[in-house]
Amino acid sequence: MGRRSSQRRNAAMLDSDDTDSVSSSSTTRSDMMLSGLEEVQFDKETVLDQCVDALYEKRGSTREKALASIIEAFNSNIQHEFVEKKFATLLQQCLSSIKRGSSKEIALASHVIGLLALTAGPGDKAHEILEESVTPISDALKSRSDNSKISSLLECLAIITFVGGEEPEETEKSMQLMWQVINPKLGPNVATAKPSPAMITAVVSCWSFLLTTMDGWTLNPKSWQGSISYFSTLLDKEDRSMRIAAGETLALVFEVGSLEKFSGESNKGSSDSSTDEANKSRKLLHIQGLRAKVLNQVRTLSAEAGGKGSAKKDLNNQRNTFRDILEFLEDGYSPESSTKIGGESFNTSTWAQLIQLNFLKHFLGGGLVKHMQENEFLHDVFGFKPKKKLSGAEQHVSGTEKRMYKSPNSALNKARTQFINKQRMLSQDKNVGYFTGGDEF
């Protein structure tokens, strides 16, 4: 308060001859703030460079810490410049981690690759990420020793296909790789152990996320026949997360249309027109029967009573979800949701949008708001671009970034301290001569 009062008194005593001095001082301070911003940006890039260098280390724990720091940095800011310079290096090191790392390292590297694709956006880089990553991810999925590792690999495959898939065939290939995880007989690993509920839930969520990008008519019916029946069986399982994922996927399948491609009835061509008509009638009856069965299951789950040991929050979540599904199947009304992004409301009105948003919420976590505000790819996906609110000359660092770069508990802080003293010396050199002894701030 004393300093501010002193500043006000000094300002009031200035005459016209001092105007230029005030302007010069103001400009100098502005230049200093901009210079500080540049230093902060340089600071961040240097930390990321050091993290990438750490991925070459032999010690697995060192690589894991570096990957965690990269995730933190990519969540807090859209790292376009870094991706432009280090894209290929970061991708290859992450793929190396997937091939040789521990379950934890594989999970972290998978997440980094997904963030790399989201930051790069659609184009040559994202397509290269998809092409280079599919085989290593597919190989890693064959070893199902850890649920978190498998979930991260599946989410990575979903994200890089969502961004980098340029043709429907590429998307379906990724969907088929996911399907093989819960249907081993469809892939090379016939003798694989039965998938866990968590693994099934992850597959269904990732599969439906990619289905949101597909036109029902472009799907290959041979690949997905019987999927409605499979999802229907999941509604009878005890695991609530699995039920919800299956229910939302069924709602999406009905929203996409072309139910005959998911129903299990194959098209058998015949030169006999009467046989064709009979096949069409049988197929229609089969689809109607499946729909009726699903409708009854959804109705039951929307009103399920709490059983012994059931968590009230999970039960309410299930009821609300299946009430929305029931209303959609009976009346055709998709659920509407509203999410605050930087003070503005982002609304969804289809199952496809809701599934996309929820998947990205889960994948990005605390980085969702930043990416929704500044990631042009997501602006195009959702048709939503919030107004960017600037404070000052954009000199204020966000709360998340402050925690990242200043908190002693931050994953990036240890790397930052290696060059912080040098930065301070440079900053002090810049300040020399800027101010006289009588200047107050």
pLDDT tens-digit series, residues 277-309: 777 788 788 888 999 999 999 999 999 876 544
Span 353-358, average pLDDT: 97
pLDDT score of 11 = 38
DSSP 163-231: HH--SHHHHHHHHHHHHHHH-GGGSS-TTPPPPPHHHHHHHHHHHHHHHTTS-GGGS-HHHHTTHHHHH
Q: Strands of 290-440 (E only): list them.
A: 337-341, 344-348
Can you tell me the distance from the alpha carbon of 219 to that of 224, in angstroms, rounded to the nearest whole number?
A: 8
DSSP code of residue 333? P
Q: Which residues pair with 348 in a beta bridge?
A: 337
Span 394-416, average pLDDT: 52
Span 310-319, average pLDDT: 80
**pLDDT tens string 13-56:** 334 344 444 344 444 444 444 444 444 444 566 889 999 999 99
Q: Which residue has the higher pLDDT, 90 or 1?
A: 90
235: number of Cβ within 10 Å:
20
Q: Determine contact, residues 226/264, Cβ cutoff 8 Å.
A: yes
Lowest mean pLDDT among 93-97, 155-159, 314-318, 344-348: 314-318
- Phi, psi angles (nearest 5°) of residue 346: -105, 125
Q: Tell me the pLDDT band of 392, cut-offs 50, 70 and 90.
A: very low
The rounded mean pLDDT for the chain is: 80
Does residue 87 register a pLDDT over 80?
yes
Can you tell me the distance from the alpha carbon of 354 to that of 336, in angstroms, rounded to the nearest whole number?
A: 8
Q: Which residues pair with 341 in a beta bridge?
A: 344
CA-based angle 265:141:318, to the nearest 5? 60
Query: What is the greatest pairwise CA distance in the chain?
Result: 102
Residue indicated by tokens 């290096």: 89
Q: H or E element: which one contains 432?
A: none
Three-class SS state of 245: helix
275: number of Cβ within 10 Å:
12
Q: Determine contact, residues 13/39, Cβ cutoff 8 Å.
A: no
Q: Determine contact, residues 354/335, Cβ cutoff 8 Å.
A: yes
Can you tell me the distance from the alpha carbon of 137 to that of 123, in angstroms, rounded to the nearest whole number?
A: 21
pLDDT score of 389 = 59
Q: Which residue has the higher pLDDT, 189 or 350?
A: 350
Does residue 125 register a pLDDT over 70?
yes
Q: Which residues contact 198 (CB under 8 A, 6 or more apart)?
A: 147, 151, 241
Kindly list the structural domains of the chain, giving each domain's residue range(s) and its CATH number in brackets, ordered by start.
28-166+397-434 (1.25.10)
pTM of the prediction?
0.77
Can you tell me the distance from the alpha carbon of 376 to that of 381, in angstroms, rounded to the nearest whole number?
A: 9
DSSP code of residue 337? E
Q: Comparing C-alpha atoms, which of 132, 131, 154 is closest to residue 142?
A: 154
| Region at 333 (left for phi over 0; alpha for psi -120 to 50; beta for the rest) | beta
Can you tell me the distance from the alpha carbon of 304 to that of 48, in angstroms, rounded to the nearest whole number?
A: 49
Q: Comparing C-alpha atoms, which of 322, 262, 321 is closest to residue 291?
A: 262
Can you tell me the distance from the alpha carbon of 131 to that of 170, in angstroms, rounded to the nearest whole number?
A: 9
Can you tell me the distance from the alpha carbon of 38 to that of 331, in angstroms, rounded to the nearest whole number?
A: 56
Q: Comparing C-alpha atoms, which of 438, 430, 435, 427 is closest to residue 26?
A: 435
Q: Determine contact, residues 263/292, Cβ cutoff 8 Å.
A: no
Can you tell me the distance from the alpha carbon of 50 to that of 222, in angstroms, rounded to the nearest whole number?
A: 48
Look up residue 23 and give its two tokens. 């302007």
Can you tell me the distance from the alpha carbon of 67 to that of 61, in angstroms, rounded to the nearest whole number?
A: 10
- Report in angstroms the alpha-carbon separations of 164 from 124, 133, 139, 243, 299: 8, 11, 20, 30, 38
Look up residue 389 and give its two tokens. 């609110």
Look up residue 37 and give its two tokens. 């911003």
Q: Determine contact, residues 187/147, Cβ cutoff 8 Å.
A: no
